[in-house]
Amino acid sequence: MNKLLLTYLKPYRKELLLVVALVLVQTFANLFLPDLNARIINNGVVTGNTGYILRTGGYMLGVAFVLGAASIAAVYLGSKIAMAFGRDARSALFRKVESFSQREINKFGTPSLITRNTNDVQQVQMMVAVSLTVMLGAPLMIVGGIVMALRQDVPLTLSLAVILPVMGAVLYGIGGRAIPLFRSMQTKIDRINQVMRETLSGIRVIRAFARTEQEHARFDEANLDLTDTGLRVQRLFALMLPALMLVFNFSSVAIMYFGGQRIAGGHMQVGNLTAFVTYVMQILMSVLMATMLAMMVPRAAACGDRIQQVLEVEPSISDPMKPVFLAGLDGGRRGVVEFKNVEFRYPGAQDPVLSGISFTMYPGQTTAVVGSTGSGKSTLISLIPRFYDVTSGSIEIDGIDIRDLQRDELWKEIGFVPQKAFLFSGTVASNLRFGSEEATDDDLWAALAIAQAHDFVSETEEQLEAPIAQGGTNVSGGQRQRLAIARALVKRAPIYVFDDSFSALDFRTDSLLRAALKREVADATVIIVAQRVSTILHADQIIVLERGTIAGLGTHQELMNTSDTYREIVYSQLSEDEVA
């Protein structure tokens, strides 16, 4: 956590120094006020010197005004620094996660990453805010209070040698039990987020299988576990306050008793006893505040470590040190994609998912990828935009290894439509302009027409400004797919990748869309993962995957003559008359 604090508090050095100065002013003012009060009692009230009372009272008002101003300024600056720290840490986490490949995201898990960027940052931010006001002032107040108490009466100050250890024992006994509970709460918050996210994402499956009650039970288990831990912490705090008040009250009684004897013996004045009691209370309150903060530190430290773990991870996929740039349009950018003996295996896996994959895709051609479930179709096309990096071999665009390109430049070359179409909250227009911010309304309508989405968008009252819910949940699956296809088309990229992106379309819409694609993106390189063989019979080349290897490569007619696997897939979906 120290590294995290040093990194994100460093830009606010001047503000931190100012807070330290203000806390010093607060501390000296707090220590000076009881002494002034003692002087008024000893030299004014006892002697009846009204002038002295008014003069010293005026000084007290001035000190109180300075104390109030310093307190307000310190809290304001401390809060500002803490909020700025939280803002910078959240921003750094977000940018770091954006740079992650799927491998790193899978390693941490989405619920945990969300918790780290919200709850964990909040805990550290709170500790920073409290530290700047309490932690800085508490040690000064303890030391200064002891010095000022010694000035009032040295023998009576020896009572602190008994009071402070007793208070420390109470705080240690309670705090020692609370710290492990604080640490476990973060893991349990992760679990709550995980269950909640899974339930919301899979709500249709849960209802379809009548598993609502089981999900209630699963959430209740995680929720009650967190609640039980929270209650145990709160019970400890509930016990702490009465125990400390007991120490405070016994301390006050003891000090007043022995102080009274000191006054009766002529060894101490009344004003000094009043100031001494105030200093003891200040010392004890400072010890309490410092201990409370000390109990916050382990939880904040655990949160800081979790944040730092994310920030220190180096993404497995990154930009090259010396990137190569693709030629511009005037330099002959073509969009030729070539797989050269590509192998890919997931981290820790013994066997590769893909091996010996070699083929070339040319502009103006459509390449289809077919195969049984688990044959590696989606994995294969995920390698093109570098969602994963090949284990061996290479993928080249226009003769350049994609690992030698900056990822932003690579992504600009590709119009990608994922298997699960995802739309962002906003409008139809804002979603389509993810493809190109400069796209005009005419460009958007043209893309919608190609994607066969023109009719249902034009029928809405708001048309391009029709609202889209997060994830596109307010439109049907087929409409969501067509909007995702239109978004890719708005990009006008030289390479288009469709990962089973037509599965929710009826045959008529599918046929019209593919015909429009063939017509409108005739110069582009197109690769399609398909489940329905009937839709890719006229592809320029078809790649047949079986257990991660190419079992066939060619046109439909060529594969019917040479590939048993392809014939098996075709006849499982079509009759002999349809094939002919």
* For the ranges 112-116, 233-237, 285-289, the one whose mean pLDDT is highest: 112-116
Is the domain covering 329-413+494-579 a CATH 3.90.1150.10 domain?
A: no
Per DSSP, the chain holds a count of helices (H) and strands (E) of: 22, 12
Please give the distance of CA 358 from its chain centroid, rounded to a whole number: 39
**pLDDT for the residue numbered 272:** 85
Q: State the Cα–Cα distance between residues 376 and 381, nearest whole angstrom.
A: 9
**CATH 1.20.1560.10-classified regions of the chain:** 2-312
Amino acid letter, 378:
S
What is the CATH topology of the domain spanning 2-312?
A: ABC transporter transmembrane region fold (1.20.1560)
pLDDT for res 580: 56
So what's the pLDDT on residue 508?
83
Confidence band, pLDDT 50/70/90 cuts, at residue 88: very high
Pick the range with the lowest mean pLDDT from 143-152, 172-181, 228-237, 392-401. 172-181
Residues of the chain with CATH 3.40.50.300: 329-413+494-579, 423-492
Q: How large a percentage of the chain has pLDDT more than 70?
A: 96
Instruction: Name the band, by pLDDT with cuts 50, 70 and 90, for residue 85.
Output: very high
Return the CATH class of domain 423-492: alpha beta
Which one-letter DSSP state was computed for residue 48?
T
Bridge partners of residue 415, in order along the sequence: 496
CA angle in degrees (0–180, nearest 5) for 186-187-191:
115
CB atoms within 10 A of CB 6: 9
- Whether the per-residue pLDDT at 332 is higher than 60: the answer is no
Least Cα distance to 233 among 319, 313, 174 occurs for 174
pLDDT band, very low/low/confident/very high, at 343 (cuts 50, 70, 90): very high
Is residue 90's pLDDT more than 70?
A: yes
For residue 463, the 8-state DSSP code is G
**Across residues 69-77, what is the average pLDDT?**
91
The stretch 86-109 carries a mean pLDDT of: 86
What is the structure's pLDDT at 499?
86
Does 330 have pLDDT greater than 60?
no
Answer yes or no: is pLDDT of 496 > 50.
yes
Which 8-state DSSP code applies to residue 393? Answer: E
